Amino acid sequence: MTVFGVAGCTALILAAFGIRDSIRTVVDRQFGQLFIYDITVGLDSKGIKHLDDERILGYELIHKESGEINFNSITKDISIIVPKDINSIHRYINLRNRKDRDLIPPYQTRGGCHYRTG
């Protein structure tokens, strides 16, 4: 029994390290290559004047809404980001497809919904 216990614990430890390493790769890609910003801040119309601070190295004004997509009893959570200047959003967010590096919608959102970009 002791041998099986030690073998089981060893297998669990090895599995945990494997999961950690696979998650680390995804996180590094998402927050190192795709999302290139350090922080998001929610502002009202009066708060925009505080962006002219010398400590702020760069910013992009966006409008963000969250919601759900429902299709054939499948529900997916989504966030829609609309930049004020579409030509400069690439400095902070790189949108690309897994295979051909094209744009939207994300793979996780498409799953089960059977729609195409266009």
pLDDT tops 80 at residue 103: no
CB 93 within 8 A of CB 84: no
pLDDT of res. 51: 82
Q: Where are the domains of the chain?
A: 35-110
pLDDT of res. 105: 53
Q: Going by DSSP bridges, is the β-strand pair 62-71/74-83 parallel, antiparallel, or unpaired?
A: antiparallel
**Which helix (H) or strand (E) segment is 16 a member of?**
helix 2-29
pLDDT tops 60 at residue 112: no
What pTM was computed for the model?
Answer: 0.51
d(C-alpha 83, C-alpha 52), whole Å: 18
Of the chain, the percentage scoring pLDDT greater than 70 comes to: 81
pLDDT tops 80 at residue 70: yes
pLDDT tops 60 at residue 107: no
pLDDT tops 60 at residue 114: no
pLDDT tier at 37, thresholds 50, 70, 90: confident
